[in-house]
Amino acid sequence: MNPDHGETPPLGVADALSLEAIEHWLREEDAARLEALWHAADETRREYVGDEVHLRGLCEISNVCVRGCTYCGIRAPNRGVQRYRMKADDVVACARQAREFGYGTIVLQGGEDYGMATEWVAHVVRRIKAETALAVTLSLGERPAADLAAWREAGADRYLLRFETSDEALYRHIHPDLPGRVSDRLADLRTLQRLGYEAGTGIMVGVPGQTYASVAADVDLFRGLDMDMIGIGPYLPHPATPLGAEFAARVASDDWPPDQVPNTELTTCKVVALTRLVRPDANLPATTALALVDKEAGRAHGLRRGANVVMPNLTPPEYREKYEIYPEKAAVHETAEAINAGIQALLDDLGRTIGKGAGGRRRTPGSGA
Ligand code: 5AD
């Protein structure tokens, strides 16, 4: 895992960091040398997006899903999940709570659930926009362009759709029921941009079969895509999924494909830091999955190694415990108030301030776009 792999390549922003250098840094294990990466990412973050941390309240509006993504706990074939769809009033109440906490954005996330009719989502977006000044982000899967257009028309500001991995074989392995390829998802991202959304994408780190070269290619792809937001989290095995079973079997027999990337906090931080360097003005969250994989330090490390966004979970507890895309264990019992207080304390500790306003992307000329 830690071969002597030659001289440490220089760090730089945008096009200054080569694909080879990215892969080199992903493999770097020396704590002293990694300090240079953390420092470069933190300085770049400060220079391009400042010390403000934007808070986005997360509301998990439906755990119904038509897809069979092999990593995800709410995949359609998982019979162990009690399915729910939130009521419009409850979603709007969540948005009000986000406003009361001083957040600038509400993120409505759910499975790819066609029982959530196009018009219903549009109605909820219009209500939130009428009752609050919040930015509205949607994360509802690969819906048809007509749906995306209707929701944009209703006032939605942003849309999140991770491509998860740019490795075609791995993409098919984890999305067995999607007819599409990585390029189709990238086309969806262009559709979102054309419709006037701020668009976000991202990946999981440490999926079984994911190599250092493939994660380096993902970071290189981030550089080429003009994304406003990029979410990066460790893969967290869910026991009731095919990929979770594969992960457990590989752990038991210590059988990993050559060049397997670990699903650790450290590796995820390297990906966040490198992504900050190649996309200096993007909004990058310290993700919930990163906070879960290292409860002590995950979120703080993310914020000190390139991230500038946190997404506190505001989903009412009775729904939240049923929205297990990955195992959350004790975390589901934390109240929104407790989560909020924890984040405020963390930001004080880090000397960072809470972002004012909606916290959209402020493009920097010459940032590699
Ligand atoms: N581990 C980590 N991240 C996951 N996601 C879904 N399932 C898992 C898992 N088991 C991520 C995917 C998806 C986002 C909403 O959550 O990257 O795009």
Domain assignment of residue 5, yes or no: no
Q: Which residue has the tokens 């942003």?
A: 158
Domain assignment of residue 360, yes or no: no
Distance 138 CA to ligand 1 centre (A): 15
Considering its fold, how many domains does the chain have in total? Answer: 1
Under 8 Å between Cβ of 11 and 36:
yes
Atom of ligand 1 nearest to the CA of 204: 17
In 3D space, the residue among 66, 35, 118, 82 whose CA is nearest the CA of residue 322 turns out to be: 82
CA 144 – CA 358 distance, rounded (Å): 27
CA 149 – CA 113 distance, rounded (Å): 17
Instruction: Name the CA dihedral angle for 197, 210, 37, 200, rounded to a multiple of 10 degrees.
Output: 0
Q: Classify 45 as helix, strand or coil.
A: helix
Which residues, 6 or more positions from 53, have their beta carbon under 8 angstroms from its beta carbon?
303, 308, 309, 310, 347, 352, 353, 354, 355
CA 183 – CA 204 distance, rounded (Å): 17
CATH code of residue 168? 3.20.20.70
Distance 259 CA to ligand 1 centre (A): 22
The per-residue pLDDT for 335 is 86
Angle, to 10 degrees, between the axis of helix 19-27 and the axis of helix 212-224?
A: 130
- CA–CA distances in Å: residue 44 to residues 49, 87, 152, 254: 8, 42, 32, 38
| Number of neighbouring beta carbons within 10 Å of residue 318 | 10
CA nearest ligand 1 atom 18, residue? 162
The verdict on the CB of residue 235 being under 6 Å from ligand 1 is yes
Our separate counts of H helices and E strands in the chain read 14, 8
Distance 327 CA to ligand 1 centre (A): 11
Domain assignment of residue 309, yes or no: yes
pLDDT, tens only, 286-336: 999 999 999 999 999 999 999 999 999 999 999 999 999 999 865 667 888
The verdict on the CB of residue 294 being under 6 Å from ligand 1 is no
Distance 203 CA to ligand 1 centre (A): 8
| Domain of 43, in residue numbers | 14-354
The per-residue pLDDT for 367 is 52
In 3D space, the residue among 272, 279, 54, 298 whose CA is nearest the CA of residue 158 turns out to be: 54
Domain assignment of residue 132, yes or no: yes
pLDDT, tens only, 223-241: 999 999 999 999 999 999 9
Enter the tokens of residue 100: 């009361």
Q: Classify 83 as helix, strand or coil.
A: coil
Distance 290 CA to ligand 1 centre (A): 11
The per-residue pLDDT for 339 is 87
Atom of ligand 1 nearest to the CA of 243: 10
Under 8 Å between Cβ of 107 and 56:
yes
The phi and psi torsions of 54 (rounded to 5 degrees) equal -85, 130
| Number of neighbouring beta carbons within 10 Å of residue 362 | 11
Domain assignment of residue 361, yes or no: no
Atom of ligand 1 nearest to the CA of 234: 2
For the chain, what percentages of helix, strand and coil (3-state, to nearest 5) are there?
A: 45, 15, 40
The verdict on the CB of residue 233 being under 6 Å from ligand 1 is yes
Under 8 Å between Cβ of 261 and 276:
no
Atom of ligand 1 nearest to the CA of 236: 1
Distance 325 CA to ligand 1 centre (A): 6
Global pTM reads 0.96
The per-residue pLDDT for 2 is 43
The verdict on the CB of residue 325 being under 6 Å from ligand 1 is yes
The per-residue pLDDT for 366 is 59
The per-residue pLDDT for 3 is 47
In 3D space, the residue among 289, 300, 286, 182 whose CA is nearest the CA of residue 229 turns out to be: 286
Atom of ligand 1 nearest to the CA of 231: 17
Instruction: Name the CA dihedral angle for 106, 107, 112, 115, rounded to a multiple of 10 degrees.
Output: -10
In 3D space, the residue among 270, 310, 311, 276 whose CA is nearest the CA of residue 94 turns out to be: 311
Which residue out of 142, 171, 294, 325 has the highest number of ligand 1 atoms within 8 Å of its CB and is therefore the one to mutate? 325
- CA–CA distances in Å: residue 267 to residues 73, 216, 235, 332: 23, 12, 11, 25
The per-residue pLDDT for 1 is 41
The per-residue pLDDT for 329 is 65
Rg (CA), the chain: 19
Give every residue of the chain whose pLDDT is below 70, as ranges. 1-5, 329-332, 366-369
Distance 84 CA to ligand 1 centre (A): 19
Domain assignment of residue 366, yes or no: no
Strand partners, 158: 137, 198
Domain assignment of residue 236, yes or no: yes
Longest dimension (CA), the chain: 58
Length of the chain counted residue by residue: 369
